[in-house]
Structure 1
């Protein structure tokens, strides 16, 4: 008997709690820990976001599942920023509409998922901002203004150009420091 995808997803997640396990388009994706370059990009991004997050008493979660709906995929972004007391689906999953910013740094094997699949899942779930940092193309792509069919706004900036984060952030990211590896 073939077990439903959700049951297989939970089994794999329980077997490998140290890894990021996602359900993407019906596939169970096991993400190994990032390379030093991947982690350096995350650390540089954290250094810029942390002062704003601390001032507003938000929280940064590096390993949490984003609940997109009962029958939807399960994504685990590299960084999730949430307000105080976000709405949780389970102890391991925050509701997409209860986030402030999700960030993924593209790795060699996940470019299509990060650029195409995940925005299509995040927007209908009400995720307000989804940032994709692509070290291979040397660009940042910010998806904003979620709608049922996708994001109404997509801002793409090359490394070196400031990237404005809209409300409730109202700040600029200095992209020159993000990808200087």
Structure 2
């Protein structure tokens, strides 16, 4: 049964479908769609991930809510890579542990949430890989191996270094042209 925050979340999401509606620490957060620079980085990440995703029969979804548990926050990453027909909470929400990879592009207003809040919640929900693309610092950070409510590995690459995604990906994301 949905609680009051969940009901308000659904109402706001239904009222503002063109916005990214999330819940974070007991509050509803409405984010505008990204700038052209943000959307360019989203596009560049799609271009890098599409080949390996298609080869493995996965799909890349923008603007899907990630269900992290009954009382957990609801986030909408920039991209969610999922297997075909992943386990869904509702038509607009995929279970976190049913994803293959979540990707967020860091913005000035999302730094704290992206680096300090989301990794813990994603790890607790079993999201296998969480990738942060940070144009403010020209870095890419990968969180992996969720265990005990936190990620067991964190890999940070800077500048033009390639980032090797572990199994089931097993390929390098070229980051040099992102910046």
Give the TM-score taking structure 1 as reference length: 0.95
The offset of 1:4, in angstroms, is 2.6
SS of the residue corresponding to residue 121 of structure 1 reads: helix
Matches for 1:55-134 after TM superposition, within 5 Å = 55-134=55-134
Unaligned stretches of 5+ in structure 1?
Answer: none
Unaligned stretches of 5+ in structure 2?
Answer: none
**1:172 alignment counterpart:** 172
Equivalent-residue separation in structure 2 for 1:92 and 1:148 (angstroms): 27
Give the TM-score taking structure 2 as reference length: 0.96
Question: Deviations for 1:28-64, whole angstroms, at most 9, x for unmatched residues?
Answer: 1111010011011111111111111111111000010
The offset of 1:159, in angstroms, is 2.2
**2:32 alignment counterpart:** 32
Question: Deviations for 1:128-168, whole angstroms, at most 9, x for unmatched residues?
Answer: 00001110011111000001321011001102111010000
Q: Is the 8 A contact 2:68 2:74 kept in 1?
A: yes
**1:141 alignment counterpart:** 141
Q: Please list every run of at least 4 consecutive aligned residues from structure 1 whose deviation after the TM superposition is greater than 6 angstroms.
A: none
Aligned length: 177
Equivalent-residue separation in structure 1 for 2:124 and 2:155 (angstroms): 18
Equivalent-residue separation in structure 2 for 1:64 and 1:125 (angstroms): 16
Question: Deviations for 1:2-23, whole angstroms, at most 9, x for unmatched residues?
Answer: x832222122111101111000
Equivalent-residue separation in structure 2 for 1:174 and 1:150 (angstroms): 26
Q: Is the 8 A contact 2:121 2:149 kept in 1?
A: no
